[in-house]
Chain A
Amino acid sequence: MKIFRIFTSFTLLIFACVSLKLPYYVNAQQIDLAVVPPTLEVLIKPDTRVLIQYTITNRADSIGLKPLIKTFSIAKKLEYVEYESVEKLPIKLSLVDENSETVDAFTIAKGGTKKIFLLLDVPSTATEGDYNLSFMVETQPEFLDKQYSARIKSQVASPLLVTVTKTGKTQVRGAISVFEISGKLFDSFDPIPVTLRLKNRGKNVLNAGGALTVRGSLGESAIYPVKNQNVLSNSEKLLTTKLAEGDRTAIFKGFFIGRYGVSASVVLADGTVQLNRSTSFFAFPFKIILFGVLGSFVGIMLLRKRR
């Protein structure tokens, strides 16, 4: 009987400890959404209508979503994106389902997909130019009934760049606004940061690609392709390579010695326009020389002491 009482007390004690330690249950809703296509560019004449299909796939639990269409613009140094309503645009945009009925919200079951159609209607009076739009699906998580709680609405966005043109002609006016290496003199083992920015002064979005070429004084050279990227009209953008990090187009890493010439070649308008700029840097093994000199000095001192 005594053993039974001890056992019961012990079990209750463990249960109490575990209960106190357990965090209270929170239904933290997970999100796993995919949108196809991720980007779209449309060149369209006034007085034309087109239906664009988006497919949304949900891989997490059943979820309620809201489709949205907004304009977007990017701050000069990419500090923020500004999303605005499309209501005042001269082009008309509406979101419909397979039955051509307006969609405000919908639910997708786990593993399910949903097709949403964006009806782009460009009236004959629409002004020629670019309209930078973003199709989005937005989650609608509920608030929890706790003293301090927040919900994270997730938006998966697919940029839609619309160029309205009567003739199909677009204007490309690009300029390399920045091409620089942060510094002129480096240690041989230092990373070399390179920045290449392109400014689009034209009325239409432009597509830029190209390459960075590094040539050493000993004859070695390397070419790094610049990724093909769109630059919106009247905006500036950092061009990137596979060596890009943060706000740098490339960071060259390795061992450098002597003078190096770095040239940027930016290609626009389907390769019909090329912009070129070049700069240079010097690298020497300062740290090794310093260690060598110090090592030799210490060695000589030790030898002299022995004698």
Chain B
Amino acid sequence: MKWVWFSTLLVIAGLVMSAKGASVDAQQFKSPGYKIESGTLILQPELDQSSANYDVPASFGQDSKKKFDEVGYVAIGNKNTDSSERPFIRLKLDKSQLVFDSAEVSGESMQKSSIGLLGTGSANFLVSLHQQEQFKNSFGATIQPTNCDNESSKCTPILGQIWKKAYGFGYRATGVTIKGLSKESFFRPFFITGPEGRSAVLFYGELDKKRPVLNLQFKLRPQPQTQTGIYKGTVVLTVSADY
């Protein structure tokens, strides 16, 4: 029994010794938009809320107050970065037309499209998706959005669920920041809104610069008794720089 305690103590002692020398990836405290000078700060260590009314923000540039008073406005782009490059936002989409050709034969069709995002001067991207109009034919017959397989826990435009058997139209995505949509067989329907309205967020954040791609997978399972005709649908992908 003495050996057990001796070995355990030896392991713990070894860990403590090794941890003492370990350091976490330390960095300097700096940020492009401000400089901390203790003399000018209102320190509120115990409070979590503060308010202030302040003049034309210094982030609008030198003499911003003077310019505002003279010409009536000040403007700034690229505020939240210290990049010296000219800022831009760039979208690459490998496929903007989808044909669900096997839907009429096997009853199900999947189509893929990849989104590439590039940019400087914008820390984060916001990617969202909605359906502008339902899948419908020239007679007005429609293909409904999927509810996924579990009737008691349906998928919604903001919640993915397993979808293998039910009918409808939906999508899944990989490389995104939202939970539960990258899992195998997890899909969700779109918000169907027209030109304005809600667009479901897929991704918010900074892209992995080594692999800046999001993959979309669209699935169509029309009901066997779906009226014949040419069915068309419109999906709207919005890629925005961070606000």
Instruction: Using CB atoms and an 8 Å cutoff, list the residues of chain A in contact with chain B.
Output: 24, 26-45, 47-48, 50, 52, 57, 60, 70, 72, 74-75, 78-85, 132, 134, 136, 138-139, 141-159, 161, 168-176, 188, 201-202, 207, 209-211, 214, 216, 218, 220-230, 232, 240, 244, 246-247, 252, 254-255, 257-258, 267-277, 285, 288-289, 292-293, 295-297, 299-300
Contacts and interface: CB of A to CB of B under 8 A. Distances in A.
A222 B53 contact: no
B51 A228 contact: no
A30 B95 contact: yes
Given A37-B121, A80-B157, A176-B48, 7 more contacts: A72-B243, A81-B126, A141-B97, A142-B97, A147-B229, A170-B54, A268-B52
B29 A207 contact: no
Given A149-B231, A207-B59, A30 B93 contact: yes
Contacts, number: 417
Chain B interface secondary structure, helix, strand, loop or mixed? mixed
A154 B93 contact: yes
Chain A interface secondary structure, helix, strand, loop or mixed? strand
A33 B118 CA distance: 10
Interface in B37-81: 37, 40-60, 64-65, 68-69, 71-81
B205 interface: yes
A207 B96 contact: no
B68 A168 contact: yes
Given A26-B99, A151-B96, A227-B123, A218 B89 contact: no
B7 A141 contact: no
A169 B53 contact: yes
Given A148-B231, A244-B206, A246-B177, A257 B93 contact: no
B80 A150 contact: no
B22 to A, nearest CB: 6
Contact of B96 (A47, A141, A161): A141
A225 B29 contact: yes
Contacts of A85: 196
Contacts of B93: 30-32, 152, 154
A227 B20 CA distance: 30
9 contacts: A34-B91, A35-B88, A37-B87, A150-B233, A210-B31, A230-B243, A270-B54, A272-B41, A273-B50
A269 B57 CA distance: 7
Nearest to B4: A296
A285 B15 contact: yes
A43 B201 CA distance: 28
Interface residues of B, number: 126
Contacts of A70: 196
Contacts of A153: 96, 132, 234-237
B239 A156 contact: yes
A145 B101 CA distance: 11
Contacts of B12: 285, 289
B104 interface: yes
A270 B197 contact: no
B191 A276 contact: no
B32 A275 contact: no
Contacts of A269: 52, 54, 57
Nearest to A246: B177
Interface in B203-225: 204-206, 218, 220, 222
B26 A50 contact: no
A221 B28 CA distance: 11
Contacts of A225: 27, 29-31
A28 B243 contact: no
B240 A79 contact: no
A146 B80 contact: no
Contact of A227 (B56, B80, B91): B80
Contact of A270 (B22, B44, B57, B232): B57
A209 B33 contact: yes
A28 B191 CA distance: 24
B29 A150 contact: no
Contacts of A143: 97, 232
Contacts of B51: 171-174, 201-202, 273
Contacts of A149: 97-100, 230-233
B26 A276 contact: no
B166 interface: no
Chain B CB within 10 A, most for which of A47, A81, A141, A169: A81
Nearest to B117: A156
A32 B90 CA distance: 7
B184 interface: no
A33 B31 CA distance: 30
